[in-house]
Amino acid sequence: MALRLTTAGESHGPAVAAVLEGVPAGLALDPAAVDALLARRQRGHGRGARMRIERDRVEVLGGLRGGRTLGSPLLLVVRNRDDSLERLPPVTRPRPGHADLAGMLKMETPDARGILERASARSTAALVAAGAVAEALLSACGVEVAGFCVSVGGVEAATLPARIPALRAARDRSDFLCPDASVEGAMRSLVDAARAAGDTVGGVVEVWADGVPPGLGDFRVAAARLDGRIAAAMLRIPALKGVEIGDGFALAGAPGSAAHDPILPPARGGFPRRGSNRAGGIEGGMTNGERVVVRGAMKPLSSLRDGLPSVDALTGRPAAGARQRSDTCAVPAASVVAEAAVALELAAALLEKTGGDTLGEVRRNLDAYLAAARGVFGRPRRRRRAAGRRGRAAR
Ligand SMILES: Cc1cc2nc3c(=O)[nH]c(=O)nc-3n(C[C@H](O)[C@H](O)[C@H](O)COP(=O)(O)O)c2cc1C
């Protein structure tokens, strides 16, 4: 069954929720692990008052028994502490950069309340809860995913740990979820100055996935290309406006001789190795066995203290965009959402490759496939002898 996610819920409604179909039976799922990811999404220097109000906890209301998935749809609910939806006033002054204006026109209403309540990034709590399930599945299949913040307002991490465990440890010590402590002070000054000025800042998030089997995704059908699916998943995150895989945009200025990753002979019984990973682990729409590297650019948030120039739908006259409670910087939080989004796409592609109603079946199918794929480069002598025999027979 295909992995499929639907989320529901308004920002100030009673809850946000996710229905995740297609998770195989038998996967151990600890709600505390989901809560840990939800708590990370709430972190980050620069968040606004809302994140101080909410204490996100998942309630798994379907698809789980005895701590293991049943193979039926999972229903994941995160209740909102601030559930004031019915008491909130209309919003008639659309904020430039938000969904307000386009949504008012689309929904034929002068009140953007119903639009911003759903367009709000609060819904990413449900996405992150589902992403935690995807991460549990991937981890059970030897794949580890880590998202982090690379830059805030132009202040960029200079060095990153080479491996995911060290990266996670450094990231989790940081108020910006940035694994390079040396830039934290500059990030903090920048965000504090923006907050004092009533302004906002954006930045760049990055996601790594290690242990990804080669051959996930597809080269045969454009819609099945994994790079396209990951890019779409990243751009579905509110305020993410650019995506690159591997060296992405930098490759556009490099000569072909310096833009690709040499293929080196395999270690015994393994896959061919690569001399570099400029492709970010995806070639031809498929994983190639290297680390998957995805980056996303987040724009500065559009709810500004003083409101950007806009028009009031009630009067038709110029007015400042509506003032809403807002973060100054949500790049750290977006790195968690990006981690969840990439994990969901990788888990979906893994299950397409393996099939399987149970985790046991997924793993058996994965092992059998990996053994066959290793054989492609792993038995060159036998293959040469067989080719020789075929040649002699033909003569
Ligand atoms: C984790 C996260 C938190 C966000 N917090 C805010 C916020 O506090 N204020 C705001 O104006 N936008 C915030 N956004 C961005 C808006 O949701 C987004 O800009 C809006 O829905 C319009 O969509 P678009 O920017 O993709 O066009 C946040 C986005 C993310 C991923």
Question: Is residue 395's pLDDT more than 60?
Answer: no
The model's pLDDT over 284-311, given as tens digits with 9 standing for 90+, comes to 999 999 999 999 999 999 999 999 999 9
- Torsion 183-188-193-199 (CA) sign: positive
Structure tokens at 380: 């060159």
Residue 116 CA: nearest ligand 1 atom is 21
The model's pLDDT over 15-44, given as tens digits with 9 standing for 90+, comes to 999 999 999 999 999 999 999 999 999 999
The model's pLDDT over 371-385, given as tens digits with 9 standing for 90+, comes to 999 999 976 555 556
Residue 327 CA: nearest ligand 1 atom is 8
Average pLDDT over the chain, rounded to whole? 94
Q: What are phi and psi of 275, to 5 degrees?
A: -75, -15
The number of helices, as runs of H, and strands, as runs of E, in the chain is: 12, 17
Tell me, what's the pLDDT at 393?
57
Tell me, what's the pLDDT at 384?
58
Residues with CB under 6 A from ligand 1: 48, 98-99, 119-121, 124, 237-239, 301-303, 326-327, 330, 333-334, 337
Q: What is the whole-number distance in angstroms between the Cα of residue 100 and the centre of ligand 1?
A: 12
Question: Is residue 130's pLDDT more than 60?
Answer: yes
Strand stretches in the chain, DSSP E: 4-8, 15-21, 58-62, 64-65, 68-69, 74-79, 144-152, 155-156, 203-210, 240-245, 263-264, 273-274, 282-283, 286-287, 292-298, 309-311, 318-320
- DSSP structure class, residue 358: B
Q: What is the whole-number distance in angstroms between the Cα of residue 167 and the centre of ligand 1?
A: 26
The model's pLDDT over 236-268, given as tens digits with 9 standing for 90+, comes to 999 999 999 999 999 999 999 999 999 999 988
Q: What is the whole-number distance in angstroms between the Cα of residue 132 and the centre of ligand 1?
A: 21
CB 37 within 8 A of CB 43: no
